[in-house]
Amino acid sequence: MSKIIVTGAAGFIGSNLIAELNARGETDILVVDELGQDDKWKNLLGLQFADYMEKDDFRFAVRHDALETVDTLFHLGACSATTERNVSYLIDNNTNTTRELCEWCLTRDVRFIYASSAATYGNGGQGYRDDEEGLDALRPMNPYGYSKHLFDLWARRKGLFDRIVGLKYFNVYGPREEHKGDMRSLVIKAWEQIRATGEVALFKSYRPDTADGEQVRDFLFVQDAVAATLYFHEDRTSSGLFNCGTGRPRSWNELTSAVFLAMQREPRIRYMDMPPTLRDRYQYKTCAEIEKLREAGFRAPFLSLEDGVRETVHWMEQTVV
């Protein structure tokens, strides 16, 4: 076993990553987060790890080189709210912190695996190819995506992608995301709406070539995101910036129908007006190009949307009163 650090450890992907590390016999883990006053601390219940450290204390320890020998640092901590408008905060929290941790890892021969984001692709007008040379053409549509994009650009400028791994996660869903508020996946929101009202509300389409609810996303079950992430922990011969998605987009209608099916309910979908401020910025399609991920050696199949939704609904029914 080896010493591992996971930032954003109580978050959605972070807590599922630790659960899988535990399943593989890894418990010598330093978990780092900022627990604050919400319920994400519950994601750490039942997980095995060596110690917990608050985010600011960890950042101080890194700056003063006060940490023990580390094998791998999974940097998943970030403010991931696409509605956050304090750009200075996002730059410091998401961009600068990632730079500090990356530099610390590189000077100590620590494997550095970090979360980038599909939000860096903006409206998708430049495609979804995870080509490091094409980063300059990308135009993120919100400050969160921009803060992630800035680090990707910095890492390329410094020539670091032959030594580190960045993962552009697409639309990840699954257990342990209940604490995310408005940033929760539609799987969780739909489950709640169906229990409360028996129906799900989706945005109308404002394009003549796309029917209501037929906007598509690359939905990725969280355990598949974790499997891809841990692949680069185990195989250290591959580095670079990689898309992390299924490569198979599915519609909001399909996802919602899968939730109804998992709950053994008849589908009832209502289409609502999209806020005018969102209509010009709304993405009608996302789809990860995953050839680079496959060429790096990650060949595991992705769980189908229907099976992933079924597992998520089962989790919610077992854990939410």
For the chain, the average pLDDT equals 94
pLDDT at site 269 = 97
Residue of 31, 45, 7, 53 whose CA lies nearest to 175: 45
Count the neighbouring beta carbons within 10 Å of the beta carbon of residue 13.
25
Q: Which of 73, 57, 76, 101 is nearest to 9 (CA)?
A: 76
Q: Which of 80-94, 192-206, 209-223 has the lowest mean pLDDT?
A: 80-94
Name which of 281, 307, 298, 192 is nearest 237 in CA terms.
298
Q: Choose among 12, 53, 3: nearest CA to 32.
A: 53
Tokens of 206: 């404002």
pLDDT at 242: 98
Q: What's the confidence (pLDDT) of residue 24?
A: 96
pLDDT digits (tens, 9 = 90+) for 168-188: 999 999 999 988 888 889 999
Helix segments in 198-263, DSSP class H: 222-234, 252-262
Q: Please indicate whether residue 180 is annotated as part of the active site.
A: yes
> CATH second-level architecture of 4-173+219-245+290-295?
3-Layer(aba) Sandwich (3.40)
Instruction: Please report, rounded to a whole number, the percentage of residues in the chain having pLDDT higher than 70.
Output: 99
Region 137-149 average pLDDT: 94
Instruction: Say whether pLDDT at 11 is over 50.
Output: yes
- Residues in Cβ contact with 194 at an 8 Å cutoff, skipping those fewer than 6 apart: 200, 259, 260, 263, 265
String of DSSP letters for 32-67 = EE--TTSSGGGGGTT---SEEEEHHHHHHHHHTT--
Ordered by start, the domain boundaries in the chain are: 4-173+219-245+290-295, 174-218+246-289+296-321
Active site includes 52? Answer: no
Q: CB-based contacts of 243: which residues, under 8 Å, 6+ apart?
A: 118, 128, 130, 167, 168, 170, 288, 289, 290, 292, 293
pLDDT band at 279 (very low <50, low <70, confident <90, very high): confident
Q: Which residue has the tokens 């400050």?
A: 143
Buried-state track 255-290, b at ≥16 Cβ within 10 A, e below 16: bbbbbbebbeeeeebeeeeeeeeeeeeeeeebbbeb
Decide if pLDDT at 76 tops 60: yes
Residue 321 scores a pLDDT above 90: no
Q: Which of 120, 78, 85 is nearest to 99 (CA)?
A: 78
- Residue 79, pLDDT score: 82
User: Are the beta carbons of 152 and 241 closer than 8 angstroms?
Assistant: yes
Non-local (6+) Cβ contacts of 147 within 8 A are 78, 87, 90, 91, 93, 94, 95
| pLDDT for position 68 | 84
Provide the H-helix boundaries in 139-219. Answer: 143-157, 186-197
State phi, psi for 115 to the nearest 5 degrees: -90, 115
Per-residue pLDDT at 2 exceeds 70: no
Kindly state the tokens that stand for 294.
């496959």
- Please identify which of the residues 180, 189, 204, 285 carries the catalytic annotation: 180
| Cα gap 115→109, rounded to integer Å | 19
pLDDT at 307 over 90: yes
Whether pLDDT at 277 is above 90:
no
> How many whole angstroms separate alpha carbon 199 and alpha carbon 122?
30
Which of the residues 128, 144, 169, 173 is marked catalytic?
A: 144
Residue 319 pLDDT class (50, 70, 90 cuts): confident
* 1 has pLDDT over 60: no
pLDDT at 303: 97
Is CATH 3.40.630.20 the classification given to domain 174-218+246-289+296-321? no
Query: How far apart, in Å, are the Cα atoms of 199 and each of 76, 134, 142, 207?
Result: 34, 42, 30, 24
Same fold, 4-173+219-245+290-295 and 174-218+246-289+296-321: no
Q: What is the pLDDT at residue 302?
A: 97
d(CA 154, CA 176): 31
- pLDDT of res. 280: 81
